[in-house]
Each structure stands twice: as structure tokens, then as C-alpha cells.
Amino acid sequence: MNGLSIALVTDAWAPQVNGVVRTLTAVTSILEAWGHRVTIISPDQYRSLPCPSYPEIRLALTGRNTVGRRLDALSPDAIHIATEGPLGLAARRHCLARGLAFTTAYHTQFPDYLARRTGLPAATFWPYIRWFHRPARGIMVATDTVRAQLRAQGLINLRHWSRGVDLSAFSPLTEPPELFLNLPRPIQLYVGRVAVEKNVEAFLESRHQGSKVVVGDGPALDRLEQSYPDAHFLGSKTGRDLAACYAGADVFVFPSKTDTFGLVMIEALACGTPVAAYPVQGPLDILTPQTGVMANSLEEAIAAALRLNRDDCAAHGAGFTWEASARQFLAALACETAGAIAA
């Protein structure tokens, strides 16, 4: 059977480093290896402006006509709109004007994200989310908690699309960084964007003994480095360098309350590292009593997570594969052939 032609429209793409980009690049790579043709429409292909308060994210300066011409020229079997930004909006308008089926995905808790950055209540932003996603043939969601949340907002046609781990890179056998050999134990690790919506300060404010390590970059990095000089800020890391940090840590701390999944949690688990988190969406869907502890106090969660068995964590993390994620993505696309191929 011939492969599919898939148009993937996303406002999040390299050189951005975040869970959305890592998910899209991982799944795209697998789809192409399976013989499908994936065409990316992303901000790096257009003139762009830095996003206010978050310059690492570029906002494409283009509209429906330009994006529509690309889609018309491609005439793809399936169109997937990954994000709710300018490119996603342009593609949505074109598809509706031409009567083209498309799917979307709910990757980010934008109402909560924008609430943290603007001071406005999250309810202010939900009308846009409902308006954007409602015409989609399918809305891809990663967890049951997000599915219930979107259903409560009146959104239907929800389709499951989980996440994966590169098990060739993330393993308990990875040697820890040399820095970790001399740090006071336990080593408590955070990995992710260093930004206000990630609640990194809650981690840095926790009073559990040991060492705190932050891996990642973002708009709050300079301020937090100055405010917490005892913490170790290692910048952005990928691949085996990132895996080494996971494997060398005693506990992974996930302080975010605004993520829809939390890809970094399953990467940490695949390296055998237990997770401490708040009892919110993401952790509630991923963690088990054997692999993580959720509590309203991070100190309490950290202390309990340190007693968990690392072999149990590694086994649970290994259950999330990008191949399974790619099959789910294919099955959720808005074309009959995709479901047949995924099955």
C-alpha cells in the first residue's frame, strides 16, 4: 500500500525546544521511515516576529492565502493542524473555505498558560479554544484527563494520541554526568522550559535536603539563576546528555500544573528515576503508585518518591514508544486510508 501524503501545519518547530516540537519531530521521523510523505508548514519558512514575553517562539507573518496555496499545491491525503497560532489559524480558515477535512491537537493548556502571563482568568481564553477546534474532524488528545476537560467544554470527536520515549537513548544504563558524582544527595532534577507557566520556582523553593538541578532554557532563566544561586542550572540538553541527567538523578520533580501530558516524566521514568509532582492532569494520567508520588506539597512528594523502586520506574517508562504514538496519530487522521494503514 502506498504511503500517505500528510500536511503538518505547526507554529511550534525547530529551533524551539519543547514537548510539542519533540513529539512532532519524533512522530514525523517514524512516519517517513514507514514510507509516508510528511510536509511541514512551520514558522521558519516565513518572515516572523518574536512572541511577546517569549522571544524563543516565532510568530509567522503570513495568512490564509499563502498557506492555502501551499496546501492546494500539495493536495495531501490528510491535513493536521498542530497548534492554535497564526499558521494554524491560516490553515484552519483555508480548510473551512474549501470544505477540506482536517484534524487538530490539544498540546498545550493555553487558557492556563495565558492566564499565568496576562493575569486574566483562564475562562477568558476558552471561547477561542472552543471556536478553533470545534470544526476539526478529530481533536487529538494525549490523556483521559484532557479528554474529559475538552468534553466538558463541549468539544467532541476526541481521538487518542499518546507520547513516546526513544528507548535507544533513555535508559537506566546511561552513565550520569561527571558533575553529579560530587553533588550532595539526593539529586532532585527538573527538565523543561524555564518559564513562569512551568512553576519552576515551586521546585526551587522546596526545602528538601540535597541538590537541585535545572536542565532547560527559557525567558525566566536569568532571573531564577540570580534568585537561586545554590541551584545548578545546566542549560538545554538533548539525547544522551539529557538521558545522563535523568539517570543520574535520585528523583525527577515535575512542578507544572499547566501541562497536558509531560513528556519529560516518561523520559525520566525510562531512565529509572521516580517522579514527584502535584496531583494534576499529566501526572494523574501517567504515574502509578510504583513510579511516582503526587502531593500538594512537593517536599512530601519528593521524600516519598525517593523510596520507590527504580526498576519499576524503568519498566513503566519503557511502555511508552514513539512507534505506538505514530500508529495512533495515523489512525486519528481525517482520511479513510490512514485508519486502514494504522490498523
Query: What integer is the mean pLDDT of 285-302?
Result: 98
Are both 5-164+321-342 and 178-317 of the same fold?
Answer: yes
- The larger pLDDT score, comparing residue 49 to residue 309, is at 309
pTM: 0.92
Neighbours of 220 (CB within 10 A): 17
pLDDT tops 80 at residue 340: no
Which spans in the chain are helix H? Answer: 19-33, 64-74, 86-98, 110-118, 126-133, 144-152, 200-205, 221-227, 239-248, 263-270, 283-286, 298-305, 310-317, 322-332, 336-342
| Banded pLDDT at 264 (limits 50, 70, 90) | very high
pLDDT of residue 100: 97
Task: Look up the CATH number of domain 5-164+321-342.
Answer: 3.40.50.2000
Distances (CA, A) of 130 to 82, 84, 248, 276, 296: 15, 11, 42, 32, 30
pLDDT at 343 over 90: no
CA-to-CA distance for 254 and 156, rounded, in angstroms? 29
Q: What is the pLDDT of residues 225-254, one digit of tens each?
A: 999 999 999 999 999 999 999 999 999 999
Its CATH architecture, for the domain 178-317, is 3-Layer(aba) Sandwich (3.40)
Would you kindly state where each structural domain of the chain is located, as residue ranges?
5-164+321-342, 178-317
pLDDT at residue number 112: 86
**What mean pLDDT value characterizes the chain?**
94
